[in-house]
């Protein structure tokens, strides 16, 4: 099993620069709630880094264009998927959008992990 995190933004350098400016100037209107929960303007939050390194499962992090090019699938973004033979939505866009902070995201992910995690 692998967790696949798909951000609601494209992964090209120009878009990343625009996103950085957006996060600094108007963070409340930034369109990727998953990114807002896990990252500040310049790097990922330490609590998120600690969580993801402690889980013990493979994780893949992709921008929406990277995901669609690699897997030839489309969803509403952002979202978190569980990938075994196929994809299963672990947390949907609506669920992620409703989360108020990183603790809520981590708690929701933990609920879906195998017991030994």
Q: pLDDT tens digits for 56-95?
A: 899 999 999 999 999 999 999 999 999 998 999 999 999 9
Band (32; pLDDT cuts 50, 70, 90): confident
User: At what angle are helices 102-112 and 46-54 packed, to 10 degrees?
Assistant: 10
Over residues 21-48, the mean pLDDT reads: 78
Residue 63 in any domain: the answer is yes
Give the count of domains, the chain.
1
Containing structural domain, residue 105: 2-112
d(CA 59, CA 82): 9
Residue 117 in any domain: the answer is no
């Amino acid at each position: 099993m692998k967790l696949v995190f798909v951000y609601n933004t494209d992964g090209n350098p120009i878009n990343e620069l625009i996103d950085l400016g957006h996060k600094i100037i108007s963070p409340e209107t930034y369109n990727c709630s998953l990114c807002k929960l896990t990252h500040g303007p310049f790097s990922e939050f330490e609590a998120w880094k600690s969580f993801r390194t402690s889980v013990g499962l493979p994780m893949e992090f992709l921008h929406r264009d990277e995901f669609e090019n690699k897997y030839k699938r489309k969803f509403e973004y952002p979202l978190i998927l569980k990938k075994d033979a196929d994809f299963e939505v672990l947390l949907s866009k609506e669920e992620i959008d409703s989360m108020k902070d990183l603790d809520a995201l981590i708690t929701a992910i933990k609920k879906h992990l195998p017991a030994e995690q």
